[in-house]
């Protein structure tokens, strides 16, 4: 988004605690300002608010855009109370934050203090309206997008599929299945393993994602052994070659047992021409076309996952058509450029409202 703003002729300042994306931000023409904005203590938030207010006044900032709660509190205090300029303020609400008590809801409410709130899916927009009573007319939906240059089957080196399959020890007659996601209980690995134990054809399933050090990985390994599929699983840990893994896979999974706010895993696989089996709730309902780009199954439904795997692997022609349809679906509406265009609309609208234009936003 920073580069998109620069290309539009805007000056883009990105305040963060640093990380792997800083060089890309700078290369895009934006300026990175190192601030510990992730700190959550009230004292740290107030200190950050003062720093941001000084930055606003020094640089002549017109819009402050916050993307998570602690930075949002600091940004809102700076924009609306501490700075002299009093710039426009907006947020991106991209998660199903815990809201079980009044204290949590009060902490989350900062994400709704802007002139406009960006939601990364219709599911999140509905959640904001239902839980917080936020006006739908002030929501802009900007689904997350895929970098279609990085996730492009044609851009991979020749032989990538064979290289990946060899690395993972996939026999010539076996399908390669892939699940990308942190090893945490709500991602649905247990349901997947039980479903795969009932698949009546050779396969290798790669599980790519960090986490599991709390004992969950060991639980999954024990479950796989009990179900008789331990030799067919590959625990890969964190990987940076997700595009290559997606391209090599015959089928990808997003099996979360709780709704995903959006679920980028599915659209990344679809961008690489791989059909997806996803659970039928949350953001997956907006990305995966049931019977078109893959299959939607009830959360935790082992039999339904097994049936979807068998249906896909048993009909290679249809599976290939699903893969192609998935890429076209991504190109039509789930690219990073499409995301940036919708976010730019929201930023422009927030600025207009701040300047006195009270017409409702187009929330999509």
Q: Does the pLDDT value for residue 212 go beyond 90? A: no
Q: Does the pLDDT value for residue 359 go beyond 70? A: no
Average pLDDT of the segment spanning 166-174: 97
Distance CA(25)–CA(17), nearest Å, equals 13
Distance CA(239)–CA(88), nearest Å, equals 39
Give a three-class secondary structure readout of 204-237. EEEEECCECCCCHHHHHHHHHHHHCCHHHEEEEE
Band (pLDDT 50/70/90 cuts) for residue 97 is confident
Q: Are 234 and 169 in contact (CB under 8 A)?
A: yes
Q: Are 324 and 123 in contact (CB under 8 A)?
A: no
Class of domain 35-145+336-355: alpha beta
Backbone angles phi, psi at 16, to 5 degrees: -160, 170
Could you give the angle at the alpha carbon of 331 between the alpha carbons of 329 and 335, nearest 5°? 115
- Identify the bridge partners of residue 15 per DSSP, sorted by sequence position: 33
Give residue 209's pLDDT. Answer: 94
Alpha helices in the chain (DSSP H): 2-7, 22-27, 42-59, 69-77, 102-108, 122-132, 160-167, 189-196, 216-227, 242-248, 264-271, 284-287, 302-313, 316-333, 336-354
Stretch(es) of the chain classified as CATH 3.40.50.2000: 35-145+336-355, 153-333
Residues 258-301 pLDDT 10s: 999 999 999 999 999 999 999 999 999 999 999 999 999 999 99
Q: Does the pLDDT value for residue 330 go beyond 60? A: yes
Distance CA(133)–CA(117), nearest Å, equals 13
Q: Does the pLDDT value for residue 134 go beyond 90? A: yes
Average pLDDT of the segment spanning 47-52: 97
CATH code of domain 153-333: 3.40.50.2000
Could you give the angle at the alpha carbon of 34 between the alpha carbons of 31 and 39, nearest 5°? 135
Band (pLDDT 50/70/90 cuts) for residue 23 is very high
Residues 176-191 pLDDT 10s: 999 999 999 999 999 9
Tokens representing 160? 């990538």
């Amino acid at each position: 988004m920073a580069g998109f703003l620069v290309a539009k002729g805007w000056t883009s300042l990105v305040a963060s605690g640093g990380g792997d994306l800083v060089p890309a931000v700078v290369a895009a023409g934006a300026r990175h300002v190192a601030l510990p904005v992730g700190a959550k203590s009230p004292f740290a938030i107030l200190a950050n608010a003062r720093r941001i207010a000084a930055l606003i006044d020094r640089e002549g900032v017109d819009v402050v855009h916050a993307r998570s709660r602690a930075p949002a509190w600091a940004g809102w205090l700076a924009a609306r109370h501490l700075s002299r300029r009093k710039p426009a303020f907006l947020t991106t609400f991209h998660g199903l934050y815990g809201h079980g008590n009044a204290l949590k809801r009060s902490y989350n409410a900062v994400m709704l203090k802007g002139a406009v709130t960006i939601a990364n899916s219709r599911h999140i927009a509905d959640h904001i309206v239902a839980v917080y009573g936020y006006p739908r007319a002030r929501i802009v939906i900007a689904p997350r997008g895929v970098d279609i240059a990085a996730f492009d089957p044609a851009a991979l080196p020749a032989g990538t599929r064979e290289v990946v399959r060899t690395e993972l020890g996939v026999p010539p007659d076996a399908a390669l299945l892939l699940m990308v996601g942190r090893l945490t209980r709500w991602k649905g690995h247990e349901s997947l393993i039980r479903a795969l134990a009932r698949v009546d054809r050779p396969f290798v399933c790669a599980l790519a994602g960090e986490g599991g050090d709390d004992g969950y990985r060991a639980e999954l390994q024990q479950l796989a052994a009990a179900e008789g599929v331990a030799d067919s699983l590959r625990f890969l840990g964190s990987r940076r070659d997700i595009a290559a893994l997606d391209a090599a896979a015959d089928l990808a999974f997003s099996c979360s047992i709780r709704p995903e706010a959006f679920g980028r895993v599915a659209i990344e696989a679809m961008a690489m021409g791989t059909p997806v089996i996803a659970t039928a709730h949350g953001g997956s309902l907006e990305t995966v076309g049931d019977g078109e780009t893959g299959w939607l199954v009830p959360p935790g439904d082992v039999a339904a996952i097994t049936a979807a795997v068998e249906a896909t692997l048993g009909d290679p022609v249809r599976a290939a058509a699903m893969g192609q349809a998935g890429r076209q679906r991504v190109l039509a509406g789930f690219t990073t450029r499409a995301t940036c265009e919708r976010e730019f609309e929201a930023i422009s609208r927030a600025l207009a409202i701040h300047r006195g234009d009270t017409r409702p936003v187009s929330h999509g």
